[in-house]
């Protein structure tokens, strides 16, 4: 069977590696490029993303208030609201995938 993504190593110089995969060093790492170990990086990254989404939602609310006061245009309100909504939907998608993965791991028989 061929590997369309080129992730499986056919290089005999590597011998019988534990995973047999190459090119995966950047996958699953923190988005900020730091190469840390342990689960704390994922937690910190997730918490920072949640804080960023909260800031976007607060900004959208502030732009709505500014629009009522006549200081912001309708375009600014739409852009801020849609940006916050899109970010929140992405957060929900990540949460749903994490819950699905947890359920799948929970149902694995050992």
Model pLDDT for residues 46-61, shown as the tens digit of each residue: 899 999 999 999 999 9
Q: Of 11, 49, 9, 45, which is closest to residue 28 (Cα–Cα)?
A: 45
Token look-up 């290089």 returns 11
Average pLDDT over residues 61-67: 96
Confidence of residue 2 (pLDDT cuts 50, 70, 90): low
pTM, 2 dp: 0.60
Contact 23, 7 (CB under 8 A): yes
Task: Report which of residues 39 and 84 the model is more confident about.
Answer: 84
Question: At residue 31, what are phi and psi to the nearest 5 degrees?
Answer: -65, -20
Residues 6+ away with beta carbon under 8 Å from 31:
45
Confidence of residue 90 (pLDDT cuts 50, 70, 90): very high
- The reported pLDDT for the residue numbered 8 is 47
Burial class of residue 63 in the structure, from the number of CB atoms within 10 Å of its CB (0-12 exposed, 13-18 middle, 19+ buried): buried
Q: Of 87, 102, 80, which is closest to residue 49 (Cα–Cα)?
A: 87
């Amino acid at each position: 069977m061929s590997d369309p993504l080129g992730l499986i190593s056919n290089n005999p110089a590597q011998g019988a590696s534990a995973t047999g995969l190459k090119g995966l060093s950047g996958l699953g790492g923190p988005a900020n490029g730091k190469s840390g170990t342990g689960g704390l990086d994922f937690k910190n990254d997730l918490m920072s993303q949640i804080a960023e989404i909260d800031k976007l939602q607060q900004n959208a609310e502030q732009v709505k208030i500014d629009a009522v006061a006549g200081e912001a245009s309708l375009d600014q309100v739409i852009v801020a609201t849609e940006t916050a909504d899109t970010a929140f939907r992405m957060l929900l998608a990540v949460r749903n995938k994490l819950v699905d993965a947890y359920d799948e791991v929970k149902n694995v028989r050992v």
